[in-house]
Amino acid sequence: MTGQFFALQKPPVFYPGLMLLLTDATVMCQASGSSSWWRLTPDPTGSYSNGTWSRLADSPTSPLWFASAVLRDGRVFFAGGEYSDDIKTDLNTAAIYDPVANTWTSINGPVGWTALGDLVNCVLPDGRVLIGAIDSPACAIYDPDTNGWKPAADKNNDSSNEETWTLLPDRTVLTVNCDGPKGTQRYLIDKDFWIDCGETPFDLVEKASKEIGPALLMPDGRCFCIGATGRTAWYTPPHVATDQGMWTDGPVLPMADRRPLGAKDAPACLMPNGKILMALGPLDGTKDNYLGPTYIYEWDPAQPFPTDPISVQGDDPCEKKRVAPCSWIMLPLPSGEILLSNNAINGASSMLIYHPDGAALAAGKPKIIGLPVNKAEKAVLAQGGTFTITGTLFNGISQAASYGDDASMATNYPIVRLESKAGPAVWYCRTFGHSSMGVAVREVVSTNFTVPWDVPLGDYDLRVIANGIASEASLVTVGKVEN
């Protein structure tokens, strides 16, 4: 069984590009390659399909294919851009977006760097952001608390250009070298050091373009890497972080219309049911060909790889528009659905909602341990109040979304939802100050959340959501907090 695709009831009026899940559960979406940004807000029942669009402040630049990340305080980090206003420029600029103030602040890039371009980035468990250079082995770390950069250890003899980085639970970052096919490395965060991790069984990198596909940390702790060559590979992390770990061959990707398929800059995401949704396209081994149409597959790693893609209902943008998979972005939502955007199409076919089948993984379910209580030991929240909540797996079991170097949209941070006991109405509370930005964190962690001012007084089920998987409900009351 597979899920189903549906079009948004209120499609955007722009060509949608990069999407990010903000910590109030709204979706921040760029009008592709422009300085225009929009917000998708779910309707009062939590439906994104029936959500509404509103304009956000324009960004300082108009980048296409750049680094991005949601920070531990809820702000958003942006850096670089391979293109600006449709001109290839390899921008050397960065900025921070504040969703509360709806403002942008430009920041300097690392000292001595002359081009950021389509750099790769990863938020580290302590909230800092690691980036890699496109033209040298250099790496740098941005600290949001100090608004400053410091050098990080260089990669081993190659640049980070076109790479896909994946955060692992052992506080390391995994990559397959695109400058040296089959070679792999991990960044040891605590030691500020890159180590070689052996070779993949087959080439995952297309030699002509140096492109590769997405890579996802899976519930069993392995990382699944999808190549631009029609091959895939599994990486099993070592018990000791300084050891190499082990690579094994993954399934060969199928053919469609008698052509081999691969992920040459293409999205994939880990769904709440533990299956992978991925976009694949035809391959021909040349540098500048990013071919359509897109074939979307759903794969359960416990089963053989399917031979047939999922059909898209209605006006199929994958087939009729002949759109390449590099134009698609996939984002897991707090509703458990997957939101897809396509920067090559405008109108009803430019965004889709995918409803996965089956139940969410019990192993990925956050657990609430501590709620704010008053003197009567009752969980009472005040309208507009800010509170701290503790628990486990608040950061999910994976970053859950992957594309490559050109679009990063990890969702390993907690979302807080209030569900009315009086009817089918939900409110999302903005979270910030996460104690960890790791993945598969089993220790007790915490986050702060702010109750919206317009939440009616009454009883609610409060849930914490990560990677689209919701915790069990905790009963709370929105009312007057006794001193």
Residue-wise pLDDT for 233-264, tens only, equals: 999 999 999 999 999 999 999 999 889 999 99
For residue 317, pLDDT beyond 80 = no
For residue 350, pLDDT beyond 90 = no
| CATH superfamily, region 363-478 | Immunoglobulins (2.60.40.10)
The set of residues, in sequence order, having a beta carbon less than 8 Å from that of 359 and lying 6+ positions away, is 273
Residue-wise pLDDT for 428-444, tens only, equals: 999 999 999 999 999 99
pLDDT score, position 320: 47
Please tell me whether residue 163 adopts helix, strand or coil conformation. Answer: coil
Beta bridge partners of 58: none
pLDDT score, position 391: 97
**Highest-confidence segment of 287-291, 341-345, 469-473:** 469-473
Residue-wise pLDDT for 115-143, tens only, equals: 999 999 999 999 999 999 999 999 999 99
pLDDT score, position 285: 82
pLDDT category at 7 given cuts 50, 70, 90 is: confident
**Residue tagged 């009817």 (tokens):** 423
pLDDT score, position 319: 53
Element (H, E) at 342: strand 338-342
Domain chopping of the chain, boundaries: 4-355, 363-478
Element (H, E) at 404: none
Residue-wise pLDDT for 78-89, tens only, equals: 999 999 988 889
Helices (H), 152-293: none
Q: What is the mean pLDDT of the chain?
A: 93
What is the DSSP-derived secondary structure letter of residue 325? G
Residue-wise pLDDT for 42-78, tens only, equals: 999 999 999 999 999 999 999 999 999 999 999 999 9
Report the alpha-carbon angle 368-372-378, nearest 5. 100
Residue-wise pLDDT for 359-413, tens only, equals: 999 999 999 999 877 655 678 899 999 999 999 999 999 999 999 788 999 999 9
Selected from 3.20.19.10, 2.130.10.80, 1.10.540.10, 2.60.40.10, the CATH number assigned to the domain covering 4-355 reads 2.130.10.80
pLDDT category at 313 given cuts 50, 70, 90 is: very low
**Model-level pTM?**
0.96
For residue 481, pLDDT beyond 60 = no
Please state, in angstroms and as integers, the Cα–Cα distance from residue 243 to each residue in 157, 164, 174, 181, 194, following that order.
Answer: 19, 21, 13, 21, 11
Alpha-carbon 218 to chain mean position: 14
Once rounded to an integer, what is the mean pLDDT over residues 189-196? 97
For residue 318, pLDDT beyond 70 = no
**What percent of the chain is predicted at pLDDT more than 70?**
95
- In the numeric block, which tokens belong to residue 463? 């849930």
Report the alpha-carbon angle 395-399-405, nearest 5. 145
pLDDT score, position 483: 52
Gyration radius of the chain's alpha carbons: 21
Residue-wise pLDDT for 172-183, tens only, equals: 999 999 987 799
The CA distance from 191 to 174, in Å, is 15
Please state, in angstroms and as integers, the Cα–Cα distance from residue 253 to each residue in 127, 224, 279, 295, following that order.
Answer: 35, 13, 11, 11
pLDDT score, position 353: 95
**CB atoms inside a 10 Å sphere around CB 1:** 7
